[in-house]
Structures are given as structure tokens and as C-alpha cells.
Amino acid sequence: MAKTNTLPRSLLTQKDIASACNVSRSTVAAVLGKNPSTAVISPKTQELVRRTAKKLGYRPHSAARSLRSGQTNTIALAVPNMRFLGGVVSIRTLHGIADRIQELGYVLSICSYEETESGNQSGLQRMALESRSDGFLLFGDLYTAVDPRETILAELAIPFVLLAKQSKTASSVHFDNIRGARLMVEHLLSLGHRRIAFVGRNDTVECYQERKIGYEQALTKAGVAIDPQLIFPHLNDFVETGRSAIKNILRKNKTIDAIFCFTDASAMTVIQELHECQLRVPQDIAVVGFDDTPMAALASPPLTTIHQDGYALGQAAVDRLLDQIKTKKTQLDPIVIPVRLVVRSSCGATLSKTL
């Protein structure tokens, strides 16, 4: 009676594929490893090897592959305090990262560490020392003159890419926050608004600074004076930020005709607070946001906002990191993910469109 092959599919080796195809093991290794030497192997044999491997359910043994290459095929996503994974854009980014890593046959490891406002990164340093990951993707946009995370990972010779943060000394992928804010304010100006409040100044977070810069650039270009009294701070809670801003706006500034909020969450709270104060949006005051969360289109009225493609950012960050791992070179030219203006009725426009 012939002996059947009872070897589990997960334990199939290239030797088994070679036996099934009646070719040498080196031929199988060249074909499945996409080795340049496949140029001397006939297309018919290459197709036979690939078809047989697929039929038998062969998968490369990751541990053996790691031993040969000196890599673990694991990418670490380092997240400070896990708070960055709560936002819609961050979740979109995570989906982009996970899909791209899975597509390329890598494993994603999500690690949390403590990041203080003073920039203390002892948690990240400890994590990096203990990690066996091939590279790091770094979430977090705490603003410091010199990002200590760059120093830590550079000293350990660990490839890394910064997400949603600019850098002149490290590889980064970020949104065009300045252009997004400029587009929004220019749109409000085109509708005739001149007293435009900005809700969301926070000098410790980079994206808030960038959006404030875009806000000021648009006003300056249009010849509208920048009024510091129209810039309201960000609190730790987005909802409270909106409520606090409305209280200050209505108490100090009776002539405001538009409010630009740095997040959709704050904008929707502002709309709610204005309704409670018997003020109509957009007839009395226009309100706009930033992020284009799913709830923005369902707000009452639907919210004009800036769309950020977090999924594209996540995929671009993975590609950049894997390229650095492969070439062992840090690419300092940043990848800038474009943003777009989504016009809905909260700004006073009569048509919904994307610019």
C-alpha cells in the first residue's frame, strides 16, 4: 500500500515541492524566492513550481526566513499612551498600515509607551532595546525643538518613520495641514466672511500649529488683519473645547461671522452650542471643521471640513519604512499626503462638493 503524505500544510518545505515537481530544491528556492537566477529556469518549470506550491498550500517558514535574512519580518507601531488610536483619522491610518503589512507578508506589533509633555521618552527607549522588530512606525505629534525619539532610535540603528509629523533629520509621512487650513479659510473668505475665529491653538502639538499657520496665511494674503482675540485654545477634551470657545466667542466677540475648528468633533459641539444659544448655522454664523469624520456628513447642518486620507498615509509609511530596511538608507525627503476641501452647507454654501 502506498504511503500517503500526512505532513500538515503549515510544515511543508521546499523539499516537498521539489519532490512533487521532480525538480531540484535549488530550483524551487529560486522560483519561490523570486531570485534573479530564475532567468535560466524555463517559464514552464517556473509555472509548475508556483502552481504546485499553491495547490499544496505551501507557505514560507517565517522563522527560517528570519534566520537566513537576519530579520524578524515584524514591524512595530509605537503609540504614546494609546490615545492616538482613538481618532477616526488614526484608525484609518492603522487600517492602511495593517493591510499593507499583511499584503507584504510582515507581522504588525502594536506597542504602547508613555510620552510626557516634557518629551521624556524613557518608555520608548526601553521598548526599542527589548524589541526584535525590524523597524518602527512612530505615532505622536508632540512638538519639541528636537524630537528625542529620533535620537534614541538613530543611536540604536533602528530604521523608523514618523507618522503625521514633519522632520528635517528623519524620514516622515504627514498630512498637508497648512494647505488644508489655508484652503478652508480661503473658502470662507470667498463666501464673504471676514471675522473668522480659529478654535484650536495648542503650542505643544504640531498639527494644531500647522493649521494655525494656514489660517493666518490665508487671512494675510486676503489683507484681513489677524486678531489674536479670535484664536481660542484647545482643551484636553474636544467637546469641552467647543463649549468653552462658544462661551468666549459670544461674550467677547459679537461680530464673528465664521468659526474654523481644528477638528470635526469640536465643530459639531460648536454647532450644538450655537443652536442652544438660538443662533442659526450657517445663517448667523458659519462653522467648519477638519478631518472629515463619518459623522461630519450627518451633522445638522452637514459639516464643511477638510478630508485627510489616513489609509494612504499608513500605506505610504509602511512602504517608506520597508524601503529603508532594505536599502539601509534614511530618506529625508518627506512624503506629504494631500488633503481636500469637502464643501457642505454648514459654511453657508448652497452646494455640496469636494475641492
The number of folded domains in the chain is: 3
Q: What length is written for the chain? A: 355
- For residue 303, the 8-state DSSP code is P
- Considering the domain architecture, whether residues 315 and 282 belong to the same structural domain is answered as no
Domain annotation covers residue 255: yes
Q: pTM of the entire structure?
A: 0.75
Q: What element of type H or E holds 102?
A: helix 88-103
Most confident of 85-89, 112-116, 331-335, 351-355: 331-335
CB neighbours of residue 47 within 10 Å: 11
Q: What is the pLDDT of residue 232?
A: 81
CB neighbours of residue 318 within 10 Å: 26
Domain annotation covers residue 46: yes
Alpha carbon distance 107, 92 (integer Å): 18
| Per-residue cell: 203 | 503650542
- Considering the domain architecture, whether residues 215 and 135 belong to the same structural domain is answered as no
Lowest-confidence segment of 49-63, 102-116, 231-245, 337-351 by average pLDDT = 231-245
Domain annotation covers residue 4: no
Q: What is the pLDDT of residue 250?
A: 74
CA contacts within 13 A on the Cβ side of 184: 40
- Considering the domain architecture, whether residues 168 and 258 belong to the same structural domain is answered as no
- Beta-ladder partners of 134: none
Q: What is the pLDDT of residue 156?
A: 84
> Which CATH number does the domain housing residue 53 bear?
1.10.260
Q: Does residue 274 have a pLDDT over 70? A: yes
Q: What is the pLDDT of residue 68?
A: 45
Alpha carbon distance 219, 225 (integer Å): 7
Percentage of the residues of the chain whose pLDDT score is greater than 90:
41
Burial of 7 (0-12, 13-18, 19+ CB in 10 A): exposed
Q: What is the pLDDT of residue 241?
A: 63
Mean residue pLDDT across the chain: 83
Cβ 92 vs Cβ 314: under 8 Å:
yes
Q: Which amino acid is at 87?
A: G
> Which CATH number does the domain housing residue 144 bear?
3.40.50.2300
Banded pLDDT at 293 (limits 50, 70, 90): very high
Cell numbers 535549488 correspond to what residue? Answer: 26
- Considering the domain architecture, whether residues 153 and 259 belong to the same structural domain is answered as no
Banded pLDDT at 34 (limits 50, 70, 90): low
CA contacts within 13 A on the Cβ side of 62: 8
Q: Between 148 and 177, name the one with better pLDDT.
A: 177
Q: CA 349: distance to chain centroid?
A: 30
- Considering the domain architecture, whether residues 217 and 110 belong to the same structural domain is answered as no
Cβ 324 vs Cβ 331: under 8 Å:
yes
| Per-residue cell: 110 | 502594536
Cβ 21 vs Cβ 49: under 8 Å:
yes
Alpha helices in 201-350 (DSSP H): 206-221, 238-252, 264-276, 310-327
Q: What is the pLDDT of residue 247?
A: 73
Residue 165 sits at the vertex; the CA angle it makes with 164 and 167, to the nearest 5 degrees, is: 145
Banded pLDDT at 350 (limits 50, 70, 90): low
Cβ 284 vs Cβ 254: under 8 Å:
no
Range of the domain at 263: 177-308+341-354
Name, in order, each residue with C-beta under 8 angstroms of 348's C-beta and a sequence gap of 6 or more: 191, 193, 282, 283, 286
Most confident of 36-45, 156-165, 181-190, 247-256: 181-190
What is the end-to-end Cα distance of the chain in Å, rounded? Answer: 72
